[in-house]
A and B are shown apart, each in its own frame.
Chain A
Amino acid sequence: MADTKQVTVTAVSDEVGGVAADLARASLALARRFSAGGTMWCASPNWPFHAHHVAVEFVHPVIMGKRALPAVTVPPAADMVASLRASVVPGDIVLVLADADDPAVVETMRRGAAWGVETVWIGAGGRRPEPGSANHVIWLDTENALQASELFVRIYHLLWELTHVCFEHPGLLKPEPECTDEVCITCSDEGRPAEVVSVDGDEALVRTPDGHEHIDVSLIDPPAPGDLVLVHAGFAITAPTQPGRPV
């Protein structure tokens, strides 16, 4: 018995260091998105119960008087990319609990910028998601599956608690000011992410956070629906990306 107990009764409190700051930033981002009318889409291919738990926390708060917030579970049997592509609108949140190498999750997160959604990736283990693969990565170092599962519950409980603290600060929930600097790379159409909806010869219909638009794809290899491209001045300027290939 003593040995068995030690398997699970291991110290867990040291993990909080970096996680606390990541949780703070993610909570403020969630509060901003919710305040602007966003919906949170929760998915966990391997642990659907965690996704269900996150959604029910936000929809039906355990503390009376707290706002019910729109959160939805992506059905575990669904094609995650197809399901979310059909459902999300710019301003939404996609929160995923998954390993770093889950292919459906990698594909989903890569599309976050083109869909205009805030992405949150919660997971554990020595292998972390590639840098920049989500807006918020909240990661635990533990390789112990049971310990990770326990701490995931803590993490999404805290995410809910901190998000509601942010609602007490309405001044900080306003949209980020528009960039008006003429040489600002972010705003200068330098290369906006887009997802191809359909292709007709040298022209393609693509989806961006600003809506659908027609672009010229004659400068790149012919893309297929679902491919990600970068758009500059009405032209696709990068070849379609494949899973595992750098964007």
Chain B
Amino acid sequence: MPETTDFLYPFIEGDETDSGTLLEDLARSAEGKWLQSSALREATLTQSAAQVHATATAMAERFQAGGRLFTFGNGGSATDAEAVAHLYTQPPWGRALPARSLAEDQAVMTALGNDVGFDLVFSRQLIAHGRAHDIAMGFSTSGNSENLMRAFAEARKQGMLTVGLSGYDGGRMAAEGTPVAECLVARSDSVHRIQESQAALNHALWAAVQEALASSS
């Protein structure tokens, strides 16, 4: 965390007893970060608007052809994968769509991690489940996770639509020769702010998929 409040309390160490100043400082810090998050969100959605539209159109075509959405990621990004699968299958409005997070089944995850290595935990599942009409969507803040790159390569080989959400400058997921057809990037160097903007991208993308499906049926 870049902010340290030490300079505000030059003589304290273990003797500080009044929490009032700290609480005020924490609240101010929260407000500042909140506004940073909002600013990155708006910038990301604005910069990505055309790409979100194009990606959603391609995804809607896959869904209409009977395709399914497979999501994956590591750590907090695994929970994003879970959140997206939840959103598509149990939407607050619109059409329910087939989606599943590959990180959710701990029996499969630990079996693959133990037997063939963690780099292959997602690609192996796509070998088992993937079909040409499906969609592979991976989440990373660095854009560099090896197990995601392996999964995207496998998905591409099978003819699946590959969609990535990344941060920083996009990383390997956005680099030349990437197997990711559409890489949406939240350009920040804070993992937390990246994930917060990726959540907004997920929602914008989902809403655009719903719109594309509604206008084509």
Contacts and interface: CB of A to CB of B under 8 A. Distances in A.
Nearest to A21: B27
A191 interface: no
Interface string B7-30: 001001111110100111111111
A28 B79 contact: no
A16 B76 contact: no
Given A47-B83, A150-B200, A157-B196, A4 B211 contact: yes
Interface residues of B, number: 56
Interface in B192-212: 192, 195-196, 199-200, 203-204, 207-208, 210-211
Given A62-B76, A149-B199, A168-B6, A52 B26 contact: no
B92 interface: yes
Nearest to A15: B34
A157 B192 contact: yes
B177 interface: no
A12 interface: yes
Chain A interface mostly = helix
Interface in A162-186: 162, 164-166, 168-172
Interface residues of A, number: 51
A23 B199 contact: no
Contacts of A146: 87, 92, 203, 207
A63 B49 CA distance: 30
Contacts of B34: 13, 15-16, 19-20, 154, 158
A149 B13 contact: no
A198 B75 CA distance: 41
Contact of B26 (A13, A24, A47, A60): A24
Given A9-B204, A12-B41, A165-B5, A157 B195 contact: yes
